[in-house]
Structure 1
Amino acid sequence: MSNLSTRHHPLRIAHRGVSSRAVENSLRAFRLAVENPWGPCDGIELDIHSTRDGEFVVHHDPALPSGLRIAESTLDELRQEPLADGSPIPTLPEAMAASGGLRLYIEVKGLDPRWDGALLAIIRADARPERCQLHAFDHRVTARLSVQAPEVTLGVLSASYPLDPVRPVLAAGARVLWQEAGLIDGALVEACAAAGVEVIAWTVNDAAQAARLAGLGVAGLCGNWPERLGGEA
């Protein structure tokens, strides 16, 4: 069991970095989470895809705006198309280096099974690998990774209200449920807590909603405006 819920307030997680003030999933967005003068951040959420040549880039969609598909492209090819701020698409190691030691919540958007070991090697090479968590909508990914890396905290995402919120988490080898914020209620949080499963809410961009979720006992709040997630500096 991780120590997320031992805090007096849910962890404040910058969604794709401070994406309200910088291009999402950019190195600047991650650095702003570290420097953030608007409100403290405990962690950064980001999205990754594996490339054709076994690298990992930070990007939400499976293709770049030009239509270049990440899984079918090499890192060099992807680097030819800059982000909206003119910077190159970041690699996972670059994002980790820019995170300033904050917790990292890495959503695995696309992962060719051939590169499972390469991803885990990057996590294990970090100075504090325990700060890195992996989560995915595809429960097959977390199930695979749980066998190969039982020491890594894993999570699954849900955008619907699960009749049994615990079973799919544990079946996927995970310990954290990333639940769409508007679907979280006391019954869901209590059921998860009884089974040792933590709940992280996404995407929380309203201070009143953040306060409601904190009162329910969620472990983390993930949003674009960290200053709206409440808590003390």
Structure 2
Amino acid sequence: MNHLCVAHRGFSGIAPENTLAAFRLALEQPFVHWIELDVQLSKDDVPVVIHDFTLERTTNGTGRVKDLNWKELQQLDAGSWKDAEYCGEKIPSLAQVLDMCRGRVSLNIELKTAGDMYPGLEKAVLREIVMRQMEGEVVLTSFERTALRRTKELAPEIRTGLIIDARPDDLAKQLEKLQCSFLSMGYPRLDRNLMKDLTGRGITVMAWTVDDRRIMRKLSALHPELMICTNWPDRWEQVFLLSKHRLWHYIRNLIR
């Protein structure tokens, strides 16, 4: 189906972002084709799924993710901030998420790093992916170009993508130089000409993060292959699946 639905940090409009609850809820939606998530490293080099470099916003912990080991991170509550229903939800490991999603949905795994914050991140993430033979089910993305280069050096066959919220004139050349076949871009930067150029070069483009139904409809006119990343996959369903359903009924009534 065109305009593939990407659940941003899982079904994060309802469940606490980047938790197994959010991923489980996303997997329950038959129209969710991809899930986007963020990966960092614990102090003892376990790949963990969390967005912020610090713990305060999405857990009851304090300080930096990188300063706590896996056992310590597991003691934190990563759900109560969202709703009391999710009290006790944990920060998941990448391994747990891969095991849950394997064979069910594709994964956009953001390598969440800055400079040399996590020198072993790429290797640790690739180890978990290769161990499960999921190379064809993932794309590794990042704002950090060094992380993308390291990923390609370690595993040339792995698909990679640049995350960007800008519109440089030589974007296509930058992607080619990075060996990226995927682009994750802030949706206001996209237009029809850019989509035509990039898709013509074999680049898959994902727009982030789109929660407004009106904007979803507007983006859908840019190109049929544009992927849409949202915190609310049910709104994607309302815009695309229900619209197609109504159109089908309209056409069926016309030909009766």
Length-normalised TM-score, structure 2: 0.81
Equivalent AA in structure 2 for residue 123 of structure 1: I
Q: What does residue 38 of structure 2 align with? A: 47
Query: Among the aligned pairs, what percent are the same residue?
Result: 30
CA distance in 2, matches of 1:199, 1:33: 21
Q: What does residue 219 of structure 1 align with? A: 226
Go from structure 1 to structure 2 and tell me whether the alpha carbon gap of 1:221 and 1:93 turns closer, same or farther (over 3 Å shift).
same
Q: What does residue 107 of structure 1 align with? A: 110
Q: What does residue 145 of structure 2 align with? A: 139
- CA apart distance, 1:173: 2.4
Query: Could you say what secondary structure the match of 1:209 adopts?
Result: helix
Q: What does residue 88 of structure 1 align with? A: 90
Of 232, 235, 244, the match for 1:228 = 235
CA distance in 1, matches of 2:201, 2:221: 19
Q: Is the 8 A contact 2:111 2:122 kept in 1?
A: no
Question: How do residues 1-233 of structure 1 correspond to structure 2 at under 5 angstroms?
Answer: 8-36=1-29, 40-65=31-56, 66-84=61-79, 85=86, 86-99=88-101, 101-110=104-113, 112-217=118-223, 218-229=225-236, 230-232=239-241
Give RMSD over aligned pairs.
1.8
- CA apart distance, 1:78: 1.4
Q: Is the 8 A contact 1:9 1:231 kept in 2?
A: no
Query: Could you say what secondary structure the match of 1:208 adopts?
Result: helix
- CA apart distance, 1:157: 0.7
- CA apart distance, 1:67: 2.7
**What does the per-residue CA deviation read over 1:76-103, in whole Å, with 9 as the maximum and x for residues that have no partner?**
1211222123212100011122336211
CA distance in 1, matches of 2:122, 2:166: 28
CA distance in 1, matches of 2:96, 2:182: 25
Go from structure 1 to structure 2 and tell me whether the alpha carbon gap of 1:112 and 1:170 turns closer, same or farther (over 3 Å shift).
same
Equivalent AA in structure 2 for residue 56 of structure 1: P
CA distance in 1, matches of 2:210, 2:170: 23
- CA apart distance, 1:34: 1.0
CA distance in 2, matches of 1:173, 1:55: 27
Equivalent AA in structure 1 for residue 76 of structure 2: E
Equivalent AA in structure 2 for residue 232 of structure 1: L
Aligned length: 224
Query: Could you say what secondary structure the match of 1:113 adopts?
Result: coil
Q: Which moved more, 1:135-144 or 1:125-134?
A: 125-134
For structure 1, the 5+ residue unaligned runs are 1-7
Query: Could you say what secondary structure the match of 2:44 adopts?
Result: coil
- CA apart distance, 1:115: 4.0
Q: Which moved more, 1:134-143 or 1:201-210?
A: 201-210
- CA apart distance, 1:208: 2.3
Q: Is the 8 A contact 1:58 1:92 kept in 2?
A: yes
CA distance in 2, matches of 1:181, 1:21: 22
Q: Is the 8 A contact 2:205 2:227 kept in 1?
A: yes
Q: Which moved more, 1:201-210 or 1:105-114?
A: 105-114
Query: Could you say what secondary structure the match of 1:31 adopts?
Result: helix
Query: Could you say what secondary structure the match of 1:98 adopts?
Result: helix
Which has the higher relative contact order, 1 or 2, with Cα contacts under 8 A spaced 6 or more apart? 1
- CA apart distance, 1:127: 4.6
Equivalent AA in structure 2 for residue 93 of structure 1: A
Equivalent AA in structure 2 for residue 75 of structure 1: W
- CA apart distance, 1:74: 1.0
**Which protein is bigger by CA-based radius of gyration?**
2
Equivalent AA in structure 2 for residue 184 of structure 1: L
Length-normalised TM-score, structure 1: 0.89
